[in-house]
Amino acid sequence: MDYIRYSIEATPETSEILMAFLGEMPFDTFTESESGLEAYIPESEDKDWVEEAVKEMKAQFSFSYQKKRIQYQNWNQIWESNFKPVSIEGFCGVRADFHPPFKNVEHEIIINPRMAFGTGHHATTYMMMEFMQEINFEGKSVFDYGCGTGILAILAAKMNAGYIEGVDIEEPAYKNSIENSKNNQAEQVIYHHGTLDDVPSKEYEMILANINRNVILQSLPSLYQRLKPGGMLITSGYLIEDQELMRETHTKEGFWISTDKTNGKWKATQAFKRY
């Protein structure tokens, strides 16, 4: 499968905003560049309406872009040139298999991203892992909603969670999660390909949802039903300006918000299901 790369020249602030909007479209991978952002979309999904939407954003924000067809076989070279190791305060180090091992980290995760989102580089994933550092996962049941590369499910496994499932609507992400779990000796994680409706009904003690604002808002009622009483929900993938809407919707659906984190223009929230 070939991809179309949108090379966007924009400020870092604008790039983050654009990533949020493009993430709600069929774009499935993003990398930072010296001049802004590179967004990748499967060639089959690059319809007229996609470029029209990008042009509408261009009229609203200040940026320029160019398009180029990228052959599938070049994908790994692109990632290897862009993917750098990430360390979270000695708690967790994330690297690809072509990087040397970390020293002095509690958990090391090997992620070969392929075409899936979630390497620890983006602020949303980073904040999710920061939250996880503060939590005791020992023996807990965990659900990774929108698993991407499987990075959060794998980290939960390394933190001795008792039972872990994950789901992603994108087939490359689903397959990549399985591969990454195998590479990290976390083969106990059960992955599903599809939507939340494709996951067998079960209640969990913890749900991790690093997706985007719209999907989180639409899914909150279902996620509430899938949490045990007092269960924890951690969400990320929305902007600071969406914070009030997220708080109101969480409360409306029966959650109480414990705390949140901010990284740049991005937010993450920890909430609990009321008894």
65 domain-assigned: yes
Same domain? 58 vs 150: no
Q: Which whole number is the average pLDDT over 232-236?
A: 97
d(CA 174, CA 197): 15
Tell me if 237 sits within 8 A of 219, measured CB to CB: no
Largest CA distance in the chain: 52
8/27 Cα distance (integer angstroms): 13
Asked if 51 and 141 sit in the same domain, the reply is no
Last residue of a domain, one of 26, 58, 79: 79
Exposed / middle / buried, residue 88 (Cβ in 10 Å: 0-12, 13-18, 19+): buried
Among candidates 61, 45, 46, which has minimal Cα distance to 11?
61
Taking only the tens place, the pLDDT of each residue in 101-160 is 998 899 999 987 655 455 556 788 899 999 999 999 999 999 999 998 899 999 999 999
Lowest mean pLDDT among 18-32, 121-135, 259-273: 18-32
Phi/psi at 233 (5° precision): -120, 125
Q: Is the pLDDT of residue 222 over 70?
A: yes
Is position 239 within any domain? yes
Nearest to 79 by CA among 209, 172, 182, 206: 172
- Give per-residue pLDDT as tens, 83-96: 778 889 889 999 88
- Give me the domain span that covers residue 164: 118-273
- Summarize the confidence of residues 148-174 as an average pLDDT: 93
